[in-house]
Amino acid sequence: MGLWDDLEQFLESRLEQFLQANPQIQVYVLLEQVRDEETQAQNRLTSFRQEEQDLYQQILDTAQQIQKWAARKQKAQAAGRSDLVQAAQQQEAQLLTQGNQLWSRKNEVLTQIQQHEELLKKLIPRRQELEVRAQAQPAAAPPPPPSRPTNAREVEALFDQWETDQALEELKRKMGR
């Protein structure tokens, strides 16, 4: 894996150099990253809100079951059926434990919802700022037509530029997913 890690590190450094040399492209890359983060945060927030609703329903169902077993326990006590009283108490205890676990998970989900809402409050202004910067950027000038290299340094520079362009295109394809 060392070769792949080295290649990845090399491409990342070349991409970083390219982006530093082309700030107008860097703004677009940052904008796409922020948009992607915003979309992911919104999707997670929606998922957590759905889970919250599911948990509330499960908690209500569990509470109804607890009430049902408490009533059964009282009936069994009134009838003098200690065997049924004990079974009903065990059911009730099990349901209380389940209810406590659901309540705990609900609190965790509420914390996640709050964190994702705060994240979105930070990402939205950042995205808007980058959109303004991107609109203010002049369009990137097309690269000059290639000329025939005359020495090894020019050939090296052309290959470096070509490899950087390929890395940038690959990054764009990955971000387009």
Residue pLDDT, tens place only, 53-93: 999 999 999 999 999 999 999 999 999 999 999 999 999 99
164: CB partners within 8 A, 6+ apart? 14, 15, 17, 18
- CATH numbers and ranges of domains, the chain: 1-22+149-177 (no CATH), 23-139 (1.10.287)
Low-confidence ranges of the chain (pLDDT < 70): 1, 137-151, 177
pTM: 0.64
User: Would you say 66 and 95 are in contact if contact means Cβ atoms under 8 Å apart?
Assistant: yes
pLDDT of residue 149: 57
All residues at 6 or more sequence positions from 163 whose CB lies less than 8 Å from its CB, including other chains: 11, 14
Contacts of 90 (CB under 8 A, 6+ apart): none
pLDDT at 167: 83
